[in-house]
Structure 1
Amino acid sequence: MALKPFRFGVALSAAADRRDWIEQCRTAESVGFDTISVIDHLGRPAPFPALMLAAEHTTRPRLGTYVLDAGYYHPTLLARDLSTAHQLSEGRLEIGIAAGRPSPTPERLAELGMPYPTGAERAGILEHTVKELRRLLPSPCPPLLIGGRGDRVLRLAAEHADIIAITGAASSRYGKVGLPAFAGAPMIAERVAFVRAALNFRQAQVELNNEIPAIIVTNERQAAMSKLQHFAPDVPHDELGDVHAFLVGTAEQIADKLRQNRERYGFSYVTVLQGGVGDGMRATEPVIELLR
């Protein structure tokens, strides 16, 4: 199967004020990112107003959600918001959605009067929401990204998604909010094989997305790796360099690793988390230049 061309996205999660948000979006466009996305966490900017401001001050990148927590939204109202955002951005919307791990603690959600559903309940909500969005959104629907790592969610993604984000891929048993735990190479290879089998004849139609919590451009690669152990608690320190989502080294080394990730796993769409480890956008700029 032919390798897909690289695409690069950046997921934004915070801004000091309106001017700062506009500047981040303009920087993302000038750096060369193909997608500007907004993270959907309570306590962070609301995705749709933030995307509309991004649409006003950029012209080229797609505008996405990375990713909506399906449990926060009624599907009918969500379809209305997505349709409006797609229309007002002149067709630049990319929908990212997942079962989610609620960003606040269960205790904080209880204070807010919100439930803390189990993993199985969240997967069920995601399945219902995705099917309703496919029914409710006018055709042609904006590209749909579904993120996850469990069998049920990846089967759903294989059936409905245009883009599949295999997030973390380690066990969620740690019970922490925020980012998932990242797995080593064997687990990622197994999850990719599972997705490919589920996709069957759709493999050529679907992009695979790679979430990047850490991009560090440095000549001191081994020293920088020590900052990343908490993202991959089950991976031995001497194997951290093999974790698909950790981009550490010179720009040339990082570009080589992304080529290897694409050849080995099929990850052609790379989403950098701004606010993660390293200067996400600026650190990615020389890498994008090498891979265009």
Structure 2
Amino acid sequence: MSEHKFRFGVVVTPEGGRQEWAATARRVEELGYSTLLMPDGLQLLSPFPSLAVAACATTSLRVGTFVLAGPLRSPRAAAWEGHSLSVLTEGRFDFGIGTGRPQARQFAEELGRPWGTAAERLREVAESIEQLRSLDGDRHTPVLVAAGGPQALALAGRVADMATLAAPALAGRDHLVDMAARLREAAGDRADDIEIAMNLFAVGDDEIPQWTQKFIGADRATLVAHDSQTLLPGGPAEMADELLRRRDAYGVSYVSVNGSYLEQFAPVVERLAGS
């Protein structure tokens, strides 16, 4: 298994106005994170202008969608926005996309967009990536695919630069090992080129915030009982050691955390980034 170097991202959304958002982006960069990532949904500000502001406020920080809900835009529109941001950030944008969480169905309806079947939504994700590649020409905007099921893992294996393993909240180590194996099998000769990513819902030993418990449908004790890979327990040394074990087990090297853990997780970033 190829061993990519560790890098880290923060999933965060704007609060307040431009100055506050720019300060957040600068802090993310200052702490050594590789990427500022933003989710997608009508309850939030639009990710593309938000990420443009974050990129302008920093010098080397990458920005990315984590992830676009495919049904909210036509493939051509998603590609157009992604290519534009790639150009304007001079290559510091990562195009993250997936088929959308179930909650996104209401957003699609509000936008007058069809939700479609799972297969139709995945085809639109594939078409969005094809359209982006067409617009890019000689440019190469890195693409991250959120992949959970076999077909999404197969798509990521064929076309993604990065694949985030979108496992259920209670999925344990063996589940992630199996997902990564499916991804590499689908990738074939390009398996070593794909960066495997995962998102952590909680880190450390404190109880999980109520909004996070509601989002994932589980409290900390339940996550611990299932060896959930969305939880990274312990102090900085223990968390770093566990991430090394996870990289050995299934190749994950690109790790993102929620913005509420920005400062708490920074010592782990300092220990592992680039190693």
User: Could you tell me the TM-score, scaled by structure 2's length?
Assistant: 0.88
Q: CA RMSD in A?
A: 2.5
Matched, 1:208 2:196: yes
Q: For 1:61-106, what per-residue CA distance to the aligned partner results, in whole angstroms no more than 9, with x for missing partners?
A: 1111111111122222333222221121122111111111254564
How far has the Cα of 1:135 moved from its partner?
A: 2.8
User: After the TM superposition, which of the residue ranges 191-200 and 223-232 deviates more from structure 2?
Assistant: 223-232
User: After the TM superposition, which of the residue ranges 13-22 and 252-261 deviates more from structure 2?
Assistant: 13-22
How far has the Cα of 1:198 moved from its partner?
A: 1.2
3-state SS of 1:94 partner: strand
How far has the Cα of 1:59 moved from its partner?
A: 0.4
Aligned residues: 271
Task: Tell me if structure 2 keeps the 8 A contact 1:38–1:51.
Answer: yes
Partner in structure 2 of residue 127 of structure 1: 126
3-state SS of 1:63 partner: strand
How far has the Cα of 1:155 moved from its partner?
A: 0.6
Question: Counterparts of 2:119 and 2:189 in 1: how far apart (Å)?
Answer: 28
Task: Tell me if structure 2 keeps the 8 A contact 1:94–1:144.
Answer: yes
Q: For 1:175-198, what per-residue CA distance to the aligned partner results, in whole angstroms no more than 9, with x for missing partners?
A: xxxxxx341222212111111211
3-state SS of 2:24 partner: helix
How far has the Cα of 1:163 moved from its partner?
A: 0.5
Partner in structure 1 of residue 207 of structure 2: 224
The percent of aligned pairs where both chains have the same amino acid is: 32
How far has the Cα of 1:47 moved from its partner?
A: 0.9
- Give the alignment partner of residue 187 of structure 2, picking from 176, 199, 204: 199
Question: Counterparts of 1:110 and 1:131 in 2: how far apart (Å)?
Answer: 25
Task: Tell me if structure 1 keeps the 8 A contact 2:25–2:57.
Answer: yes
Task: Tell me if structure 2 keeps the 8 A contact 1:68–1:98.
Answer: yes
3-state SS of 2:233 partner: strand
Matched, 1:289 2:270: yes
What is the correspondence of 1:112-261 to structure 2 with a 5 Å cutoff?
Answer: 113-167=112-166, 169-170=167-168, 181-216=169-204, 221=205, 224=207, 231=216, 237=222, 239-240=224-225, 242-261=227-246
Partner in structure 2 of residue 91 of structure 1: 91
- Give the alignment partner of residue 271 of structure 1, picking from 241, 253, 256: 256
Alpha carbons of 1:286 and 1:236: their partners in 2 closer, same or farther (altered >3 Å)?
Answer: closer
Alpha carbons of 1:55 and 1:203: their partners in 2 closer, same or farther (altered >3 Å)?
Answer: same
Partner in structure 1 of residue 43 of structure 2: 43
Alpha carbons of 1:104 and 1:72: their partners in 2 closer, same or farther (altered >3 Å)?
Answer: closer
Question: Counterparts of 1:281 and 1:238 in 2: how far apart (Å)?
Answer: 21
5+ residue gaps, structure 1, are: 171-180
Question: Counterparts of 2:110 and 2:208 in 1: how far apart (Å)?
Answer: 38
Question: Counterparts of 1:249 and 1:200 in 2: how far apart (Å)?
Answer: 36
Alpha carbons of 1:244 and 1:136: their partners in 2 closer, same or farther (altered >3 Å)?
Answer: same
3-state SS of 1:249 partner: coil
User: Could you tell me the TM-score, scaled by structure 1's length?
Assistant: 0.83
Question: Counterparts of 1:271 and 1:117 in 2: how far apart (Å)?
Answer: 29
5+ residue gaps, structure 2, are: none
Question: Counterparts of 2:94 and 2:201 in 1: how far apart (Å)?
Answer: 20
Matched, 1:60 2:60: yes
How far has the Cα of 1:145 moved from its partner?
A: 0.6
**RCO higher in 1 or 2 (8 Å CA, sep ≥ 6)?**
2
Question: Counterparts of 1:151 and 1:234 in 2: how far apart (Å)?
Answer: 28
Task: Tell me if structure 2 keeps the 8 A contact 1:184–1:235.
Answer: no
Question: Counterparts of 1:24 and 1:82 in 2: how far apart (Å)?
Answer: 22
